[in-house]
Amino acid sequence: MLAGGGVLSGCSGSGGSGSGDASGSGVAPKVTPGPKTAGVLYPPDYVGPIARDLKPITTEKVKFSIVVPQDLKVGDWSTNAFTKWLEQRTGIHIDFRQVASGDDMMTKVNAMIAAGDIPDAFLAVPWSRSQLYLFGQQGLFPDLSAHIDGYAVNLQQAMKDYPDSRKLMQAPDKKIYSFPSYNDCYHCRAGRGRAYLNTQWVEKVGLATPKTTDEFRELLTAFKKADLGGNGRTIPFAGYKDSPLDTYFMNSFLYNPGEPWLFVKDGKVDVTFNKDEWREGLKFIHGLYADGLINKDAFTADSDQMRKYGTTPGQAIVGGARVYSLGEFLDVASTDPNARYRQYTAVPPLEGPNGVRQATWDYFGALGVGTLVITKKCQRPELLVQWADCQMELQAILRSSFGPQGPNTWQWAKAGDLGLEGKQAIYRQNYDWANTTGQFWDQYGVLYRSRGYRSGERYNSKGNALEKGLLDDTQKYYEPYKQPQEMQFPPVALDQDQAAQEAELSTNLNSEVNLSFAKFVTGRLDPNDDTAWNDYKDRVTKIGLKSYLEVQQAGYEAYHG
Amino acid sequence: MSTTEMNLAPDDRRLGTGAPIQDTRSDKIAVACIYTALGLFCLAILYPIVYVASASVSNTSKVAAGEVWLWPVGFTLDAYKAIFDYKSIVTGFGNSVFYAVAGALVATVLTLLAAYPLSRKGLPGKGLIMAAFVFTMMFSGGLIPTYLVVDQLGLLNTRWAMILPAALAVWNVIITRTYFMVTIPEELVEAGKVDGCSDFGFFWRIVLPLSKPIIAVNLLFYAVGQWNSFFNALIYLTNEHLFPLQVILRQILIQSKVDPSQMADTSKLMHLKELQEQLKYSLIVIGMIPPLLVYPFVQKHFVKGAMVGSLKG
Amino acid sequence: MTGPTETRADTQPTAKPPAARQSPEARRKGRVEAAKPALGLGLRIRRNWQLYAMLALPLIWLAIFAYWPMYGVIIAFKDYNVVSGIWGSPWVGMKYFERFVESYQFWRLIKNTVFLHVYELVATFPLPIILALCLNTVRKKWFSRSAQLITYAPHFISTVVVVGLVVVLTNPNTGVANKVIGLFGFGPVDFLGDAGLFRHIYVWSGAWQTMGFAAIIYLAALTSVPPELHEAAIVDGASRLRRMWHIDLPAIVPVAVILLILNIGSILSVGFEKVLLMQNNLNLDTAEVIDTYVYKIGLASAVPQFSYATAIGLFRSVIGLVLLVLANTFARRFAKSSLW
């Protein structure tokens, strides 16, 4: 829509610096995107961020204070190369306040709010939707809808590219309390349902890639029998505590997205873990475990231990694994064509005895809310909205992710360079993450990384083979088996009371289900024993499954309402 | 305290003078047992420490593959070199040293000031004051109110925020007080009174010189407490230049142990893991060195009979 | 002021040879006498003004950093949210206490926390004492000093790494622990996956890590033993172990008793980070404790549960205080030292 124009600059433009008046949505945008940068190539049918020439948002001297996480790679935010570049480009100065990152960050942020020590904005703080909603309603975070509709040209484009996204951004009261970020990681959508097999071993035992649960079991049994790891060290199939088994295996019995195990059927929210199919799944997994086909410590091994299994000196001892990606148990940095990780390929979901064959698919993962949260302290929210929007421009994204343009970071692709999906590439990336500090924002900023952008990276069999492999197997093995979108429980926002109730119920339910799952699989509880199964269902009911589902149902209805 | 060095432990003294009393048979067995038990225990402890040290100078992928058992495999100092790539680690180390030293000094002074009066017999209101101290061990206002107080005092984002809120541990006060009660006999206090010593004078001239072991322990405990703490930094500081080492260490050890399902980016997850694997052990070694260097200075004061010996002398 | 003869038993028990100790009755009697003020209260206060002056700074600190924030416990009785603030949030009375007590996991949490703490206390409390006594009796300086340094070092290994080492050592396929039990013909055991073994692993790895550091306080206390006592005892032909028991140990007892009382007061807390790191889906039966539960609720919660967490904390404090007072009363009666 806004394509041609380009009379005015910008992530900002004419009116941007002036009035703080951002009265109505529906009003024609006050700014238009700048002209496309010459010489940047795009694949056909490209959907994603575009490189544009921009002028500063404002010539006034304005400064905003923003709370950001401390990070080794970003280093000092105020002297970071991307900060400098963005400052120059937008004309907006930021006073960064760095707080320790991780789970701890929320503690600090809450204390700041409690003390009334509020910055103009928070960047990359892990807000939950419910928090945004709560603070939004309490007036701490203003509604950004009008500013987004008025100034955020790149975000507007992204919302066109991803039609669901406005709904996902909105709180239940239909307001938008944060500036979002996009990262459409295609292969991540299938991550929970992914598993790998050692294809060399499959060949060695003379079997085909398994299609059904029975074939799978047969294959693992053959692995064990042939003892391909040697000295009885063979682990036919490995799991570890950070990577749940149920998200792969259970989908041969019923659609199971994994913790918190919620799904939607005909508009009704329900859970998977008390269904008879779940029990059938338990029997199957228990059978594997009881036969020694799954490592004994599948529930206790930590990631370091998992890596030890994967990278044993000499030959491989792992026949297959339930992991999100190979890097969790193998050394994937090697460019050696015989590197061990090349033995492993993803395995599609298995068909269960009743013909169920599903891969749990995440439809909602591309959009993250809360990336930039502007507070009521901010006098000129429209400027910060433009500042954020500016980061969604292609060159800004590349600089924010990889550092300044250059042969050792990133460059525009040449004609004929092919991207990860085999089309014209947009950029080449050659940055050395490990040895770079202070050059980029390491994905903390506002980003618009569409699928087109992500696979617009030039394919380089040495550098990003893993990413390509993930993309390919997702396309081939998992996407065809994805569940219908209506079945997935969407990301909901709860009000304060609901959230309080939900916190306790979900803590107790998750503990119980995880504990019992592990017990059923390892045989401490017998899935074939009706009493054990009924006791488990009783416990789940007693914890308050009914109220839990009511809360979630309310959240679900508010989401759609 | 001039007699301290002279005042050898009884056993040593006996050896020195060739005392006629021989160890009995059971004594010999007891001694052998003690040596063996201590020796074995030390070995058991030494192993993980050697492991950590070896891992810090080994090739990271060998460590990850479990090839390092005791000695380094694929010796390299890369992990230590990498540390210097991160300014925040270097400044963090410096900050930690500052907080440990300054924090220990301030806190030890406060502790001694509190502990001595509370150790004195018959100080009116002593029980009440003691109870007031102990009560705070059980009840605290919690995070947010404490934060509000620190904010209202204007300490936020200053080095004082690291030192003042942690400037007294009731635990240490109680231990120190108990030590005083045991080692400063009331006769001594009375004798001081007779000599016309004021309480200040007595504390300064008699109590402090007699209390080197407990002063050393306080300094050590407070310094170690500061050295290992991250929470106050996390809550009160918003300036990277003020962060102590533990915040960085924690970021690498704990916060980068991200749930793989939460990472939208496999490559970033891998990178983080590499970074973690590379820096984990070298950072622990770096974090261990200062406390280990300090310990012998504390240990020096654990001389048997030092107290009483100097009293008589 | 009390007469020196009565108080001597209280203040300096170690200075007396064991045989000369007063019976408990005599001591109690002495205490009763000691409690009688010999001078008027006002005079005693004036005489001690310098002692009060010394206490001034610590008390100011206490008032500012410990008592001033304490009004915050009312969060437990309110539906606190950070925007409305402590005073602005609505009162809810005992709602959060009720919620906790009625919580599905309440009894499991209490049981697990208390068991873990008590086990840890019983198993690891005497160890630093024994270690200190042993170190103290060792004649070779270099041995004693290096042993001290070595045993002190693990205190500085981060919990994450300690737990990581535990995982490696107990691994069912490659762990040393399994190789050892394998020698005796036992099959591989997934130690960490066994809810019954969780407490042992937690407690003993903790003992391993903290014993040396905890011994420091006792080493300091042992410096108060007059060498003359040992000399006299040697002349009397007392064996090494007897001297350790009758001379060295009494020097540590006052400190040990105090530590014990304090420890009992914190019965409802355990090393949170370590428990959390050691948890897995198979050991939750025993490894879920109050702290980890509060943490999980906080984490699972879409909105921080300050009021709930404060209420649980307050619950814990009240129980801790009651136990502390009981322990202290007990210690006054039966041991020579107490908190007040």
- Tokens at A437, concatenated: 């500090």
- B4-33 burial string, b = 16+ CB within 10 Å, else e? beebbbbbebbeeeeeeeeeeeebeebbee
Q: B108 to chain A nearest CA, in Å? A: 28
Q: B270 to chain A nearest CA, in Å? A: 6
Residues B35 and B158 in one domain: no
For residues A308 and C60, what is the distance between their CA atoms, to the nearest angstrom?
54
Shortest CA distance from C68: residue in chain B: B149
Shortest CA distance from A247: residue in chain B: B261
**Alpha carbons within 13 A on the beta-carbon side of A193:** 28
Give the distance between the most distant pair of CA atoms in chain A. Answer: 76
Residue B249's domain is classified under what CATH number?
1.10.3720.10
Residues B223 and B274 in one domain: yes
What is the tally of helices (H) and strands (E) in chain B? Answer: 17, 0
pLDDT at res. B301: 82
How far CA C282 is from CA of A202, A299, A509, A524, C145, in Å, comes to 31, 7, 15, 9, 42
Q: A42 to chain C nearest CA, in Å? A: 40
- Tokens at A126, concatenated: 């892990």
pLDDT at res. B261: 58
Residues of B in contact with C10 (CB under 8 A): 181
Domains defined along chain A, listed by start? 15-185+365-454 (3.40.190.10), 191-362+464-487 (3.40.190.10), 496-560 (no CATH)
Contact B81/A at CB under 8 A: no
Residue C184: pLDDT band by 50, 70, 90 thresholds? Answer: confident
> Any residues with CB less than 8 A from the CB of A559 and at least 6 apart, and which?
A167, A172, A490, A491, A492, A493
pLDDT at res. A30: 64
Question: Reduced to 3 states, what is the DSSP secondary structure of residue B155?
Answer: coil
Cβ distance B151 to A435 less than 8 Å, yes or no, reads no
Q: Spell out the domain ranges in chain C.
A: 1-47, 101-334
pLDDT tens digits, one per residue of A348-371: 999 999 999 999 999 998 899 999
Residue C323: pLDDT band by 50, 70, 90 thresholds? Answer: very high
Residues B223 and B297 in one domain: yes
- Tokens at A291, concatenated: 């036969």
- Tokens at B212, concatenated: 């080197």
Domain membership flag for residue B5: no
Which of B5, B47, B75, B49 shows the shortest CA–CA distance to B309?
Answer: B5
Shortest CA distance from B254: residue in chain C: C160
- Tokens at A378, concatenated: 């901010």
Which of C264, C50, C62, C69 shows the shortest CA–CA distance to B133?
Answer: C62
- A444-475 burial string, b = 16+ CB within 10 Å, else e? bbbbbbbbbbbbbbbbbeebbbbbbbbbebbe
Q: Which residue has the tokens 């058992």?
A: B69
Poorest-pLDDT segment among A173-187, A542-556, B290-304: B290-304
Give the chains touching A; criterion: ≥3 Cβ pairs < 8 Å: B, C
Q: C322 to chain A nearest CA, in Å? A: 28
Q: A242 to chain C nearest CA, in Å? A: 9
Domain's final residue, options B76, B107, B141: B76
pLDDT at res. A430: 83
pLDDT at A450 over 60: yes
Residues 165-194 of A with CB under 8 A from B: 183, 185, 187-188, 191-192
pLDDT at res. B303: 67
Domain membership flag for residue B168: yes
pLDDT at C14 over 50: no
Contact C126/B at CB under 8 A: no
Quickly list DSSP for A468-515. Answer: HHHHHHIIIIIGGGBPPGGGBPP-----HHHHHHHHHHHHHHHHHHHH
Shortest CA distance from B266: residue in chain A: A325
pLDDT at A516 over 90: yes
Give the chains touching B; criterion: ≥3 Cβ pairs < 8 Å: A, C
Residues of A in contact with B248 (CB under 8 A): 72
Contact C202/A at CB under 8 A: no
Which of B237, B227, B219, B233 shows the shortest CA–CA distance to B286?
Answer: B227
- Tokens at C1, concatenated: 């002021």
Domain membership flag for residue B169: yes
CATH topology of domain C101-334: MetI-like fold (1.10.3720)
pLDDT at res. B23: 64
Domain membership flag for residue B17: no
Residues of A in contact with C193 (CB under 8 A): 296-297, 299-300, 518, 522
For residues C92 and C306, what is the distance between their CA atoms, to the nearest angstrom?
13
Alpha carbon dihedral A411, A415, A419, A421, in 10-degree steps, equals: 160
Q: What predicted TM-score, i.e. pTM, was given to this entire model?
A: 0.85
How far CA B72 is from CA of A178, B39, B50, B126, C97, in Å, comes to 50, 24, 9, 57, 53
How far CA B304 is from CA of A500, B11, B101, C54, C168, in Å, comes to 58, 11, 27, 29, 41
> Any residues with CB less than 8 A from the CB of C198 and at least 6 apart, and which?
C192, C278, C283, C286, C287
> Any residues with CB less than 8 A from the CB of A421 and at least 6 apart, and which?
A455, A471
pLDDT at res. C24: 45
User: Most B CBs within 10 Å: which of A73, A96, A98, as the mutation test of the B interface?
Assistant: A98
- pLDDT > 70: what percent of chain B? 84
Contact A78/B at CB under 8 A: no
Cβ distance C73 to B110 less than 8 Å, yes or no, reads no
Show the domain range for B69.
22-76
User: Most A CBs within 10 Å: which of C281, C283, C296, C297, as the mutation test of the A interface?
Assistant: C281
Beta bridge partners of A93: A63
Which of C337, C251, C138 shows the shortest CA–CA distance to B305?
Answer: C251
- Tokens at B27, concatenated: 């004594």
Cβ distance A70 to B247 less than 8 Å, yes or no, reads yes
- Helices B266-299, B25-56: inter-axial angle, 10-degree rounding: 140
Domain membership flag for residue B142: yes
Cβ distance B122 to C44 less than 8 Å, yes or no, reads yes
- A522-540 burial string, b = 16+ CB within 10 Å, else e? bebbebeeeebbeebbebb
**Angle of CA points A201, A203, A208, to nearest 5°:** 110
Q: What's the distance, Cα to Cα, between the start and end of chain A in Å?
A: 29
Residue A72: pLDDT band by 50, 70, 90 thresholds? Answer: confident
**Alpha carbons within 13 A on the beta-carbon side of A228:** 23
pLDDT at res. A427: 95
User: Most C CBs within 10 Å: which of B70, B133, B139, as the mutation test of the C interface?
Assistant: B139
Residues B113 and B54 in one domain: no
Contact yes or no for C324/B138 (Cβ under 8 A): yes
Cβ distance A313 to B144 less than 8 Å, yes or no, reads no
Cβ distance A504 to C299 less than 8 Å, yes or no, reads no
For residues C37 and A61, what is the distance between their CA atoms, to the nearest angstrom?
73
For residues A433 and A108, what is the distance between their CA atoms, to the nearest angstrom?
28
Residues 14-53 of B with CB under 8 A from A: none
CA C40 to chain centre: 38
For residues A281 and A289, what is the distance between their CA atoms, to the nearest angstrom?
12
Domain's final residue, options B56, B76, B96: B76
Contact B171/A at CB under 8 A: no
- Number of Cβ within 10 Å of residue A354's Cβ equals 11
Domain's final residue, options B51, B76, B101: B76
Question: What does chain B come to in residues?
Answer: 313
Beta bridge partners of A65: A95
Domain membership flag for residue B39: yes
Residue C16: pLDDT band by 50, 70, 90 thresholds? Answer: very low
- Number of Cβ within 10 Å of residue A560's Cβ equals 11
Average the pLDDT over A201-222 and give the result. 95
pLDDT tens digits, one per residue of A453-487: 999 999 887 666 778 888 999 999 999 999 999 99
pLDDT at res. A2: 36
Contact yes or no for C97/C311 (Cβ under 8 A): yes
Average the pLDDT over A2-16 and give the result. 38
Q: Which residue has the tokens 């300036």?
A: B239
- Tokens at C165, concatenated: 């080492």
pLDDT at res. C244: 86
> Any residues with CB less than 8 A from the CB of C5 and at least 6 apart, and which?
none
pLDDT at res. A247: 94
Domain membership flag for residue B211: yes
pLDDT tens digits, one per residue of C284-318: 989 999 989 988 887 767 788 888 989 998 999 99
B192-196 contacts at long range (C-beta below 8 A, 24 or more positions apart): none
pLDDT tens digits, one per residue of A159-187: 999 998 999 999 999 999 999 999 998 98
Residues B190 and B248 in one domain: yes
Average the pLDDT over A233-249 and give the result. 93
Which of B113, B112, B95, B115 shows the shortest CA–CA distance to B161?
Answer: B95
Cβ distance C81 to A131 less than 8 Å, yes or no, reads no
pLDDT at B71 over 70: yes
Give the chains touching C; criterion: ≥3 Cβ pairs < 8 Å: A, B
Residues B144 and B260 in one domain: yes
Average the pLDDT over C173-193 and give the result. 82
Cβ distance C302 to A103 less than 8 Å, yes or no, reads no
pLDDT at res. C126: 92
Single-letter amino acid code for the residue at A260? P
Q: C123 to chain A nearest CA, in Å? A: 25
For residues A342 and A173, what is the distance between their CA atoms, to the nearest angstrom?
50
pLDDT tens digits, one per residue of A92-150: 999 999 988 877 788 889 889 988 889 999 999 989 999 999 999 999 999 999 999 99
Residues B128 and B42 in one domain: no
Cβ distance A466 to B267 less than 8 Å, yes or no, reads yes
Q: B187 to chain A nearest CA, in Å? A: 52
pLDDT at C3 over 80: no
- Helices A153-161, A381-390: inter-axial angle, 10-degree rounding: 60
Task: Calculate the average pLDDT of chain C.
Answer: 82
Residues of B in contact with C314 (CB under 8 A): 139
Domain membership flag for residue B1: no
Q: Which residue has the tokens 């018959």?
A: B122
pLDDT tens digits, one per residue of A260-305: 999 999 999 999 999 999 999 999 999 999 999 999 999 988 888 8
Cβ distance C306 to B144 less than 8 Å, yes or no, reads yes
- Tell me which of B305 and B188 has the higher pLDDT: B188
pLDDT at res. B267: 67
Shortest CA distance from C216: residue in chain B: B217
Residues of C in contact with B118 (CB under 8 A): 55
Q: What total of structural domains would you count in chain B?
A: 2
- Number of Cβ within 10 Å of residue B157's Cβ equals 16
Phi, psi of A268 (to 5 degrees): -110, 130
Residues B122 and B39 in one domain: no
For residues C238 and C70, what is the distance between their CA atoms, to the nearest angstrom?
54
Residues 81-110 of C with CB under 8 A from B: 82, 86
B251 DSSP 8-state letter: I
Residues B165 and B48 in one domain: no
Q: C68 to chain A nearest CA, in Å? A: 15
pLDDT at res. A397: 95
Residues B90 and B169 in one domain: yes
Cβ distance B267 to A110 less than 8 Å, yes or no, reads no
Residue spans of beta strands (DSSP E) within C77-117? none
pLDDT at res. B154: 93
